[in-house]
Amino acid sequence: MTEICPRFGSAQAQYIAPKLTMQKFFTFIKQFVNSFRTQGDGDRRLMDKLRDKYRLVIMNDDTFEEVTSIKLTPLAVYIGVSSLIVGTAILVTMLIIWTPLKRYIPGYGDFTRDSEIASLAGKVASLENEIEAHRLYNENFRKMLTGDMADLTEEAVKKKGQPENTADTLSTEEIDRIPEDEELRSAVATGTFTRDSSTMAAPMTSLGQDIPLEKLFFMPPVSGEITAKFDLAKNHLGLDVAAPKNTAVKAAANGTVISAGYTVETGYSIAVQHPNNVVTIYKHNSVLLRRAGDFVKTGEAIAIIGNSGENTSGPHLHFELWHKGRSVDPTLYINFN
């Protein structure tokens, strides 16, 4: 060794010579391994590489004791991770489609729910209108019973007699007049349409006078056969008059509509308050031609006869006549023939 390294001392030569030898040895091993790996990997296909087996070992960090081990291949790891991602995507999609979680997604819209909301909003608006009509009816009825007629003067009635939007009501010109209607109109002009033609009829134009009911004249709302008479014992507070389909129902006298709407029992119904504490009610109509607050004249069409509501068995008009808060028999004051 001393001859190989003549420039160093014997001690230094003994230290440097083994070190150089080990470096050359490790360099040769490294080159050999790299050469082997390059040639082997270049000749193998991708699927062969993915099928290489590896072992995942879990060891105790303190004792280096093997706890467990798992055999793995790159292909198995790829398939497992891909399956987990696809399964998670399918599960999330199913949750969004078939559970209420979709409603929490910003911008999500349910057409079925939107149509239901629109339908419910329409029903609520209809109920509000019906409640308002009932409130107005009860208020006017209370005023009639207590004698508070300040808001029911002829001037006040005429002011609120016309609807705000005439398109909401049907024109009476669209209804064909029948011969009976013409006869009744001529009878109005001559004053001969009361039950007793010899009785002097008083016009219902004054709200302040208390005129006996038998001295007032009324026009029959419809002409036809009476199928059910007035009977307090059976709680039938009016009478039923059968008439052909689409017959116009006319106001029995001048007055103001205090209620117009639909109920389950009586269908489309309308009530008119007249002077002298008189109220007439018309039920089971198919169409209402006037609404609450309208002023109507004697013989003016206010509805079309029908068969609406549960308490009915065919096209007819249920007519009630009220005087000073109690129902009376309409046949005593009106001739329906």
Longest CA pairwise span in the chain (Å): 166
Range of the domain at 70: 44-108
> Does 59 reside within a domain?
yes
Minimum mean pLDDT range among 173-177, 251-255, 304-308, 321-325: 173-177
Last-in-domain residue among 108, 131, 156? 108
Q: Find all residues with CB under 8 Å of 230, minimum gap 6, and list them.
A: 236, 237, 238, 239, 327, 328, 329, 330, 331
216 plus 192 within the same structural domain = yes
77-118 residue pLDDT tens: 889 999 999 999 999 999 888 888 777 777 666 656 677 888
How much of the chain, in percent, has pLDDT values that exceed 90? 22
Residue-wise DSSP of 113-126? HHHHHHHHHHHHHH
> Does 113 reside within a domain?
no
Q: Which residue has the higher pLDDT, 317 or 22?
A: 317
28 plus 140 within the same structural domain = no
How much of the chain, in percent, has pLDDT values that exceed 70? 66
Last-in-domain residue among 55, 85, 108? 108
> Does 238 reside within a domain?
yes
> Does 114 reside within a domain?
no
**How much is the average pLDDT of 31-57?**
68
Q: Find all residues with CB under 8 Å of 292, minimum gap 6, and list them.
A: 132, 133, 136, 137, 257, 258, 259, 260, 261
16: pLDDT strictly greater than 80: no
> Does 337 reside within a domain?
no
Residue 337 — pLDDT band, cuts 50, 70, 90?
confident
> Does 115 reside within a domain?
no
In the three-class reduction of DSSP (H, G, I as helix; E, B as strand; rest coil), residue 329 is classed as: coil
192-201 residue pLDDT tens: 444 444 444 4
Domains: count for the chain: 3
Minimum mean pLDDT range among 9-23, 159-173, 241-255, 307-321: 159-173
What does pLDDT average to over the chain? 77
129 plus 260 within the same structural domain = yes
**How much is the average pLDDT of 313-329?**
88
Nearest-angstrom CA–CA distance, 35 and 37? 6
What is the reported pTM?
0.43
5: pLDDT strictly greater than 90: no
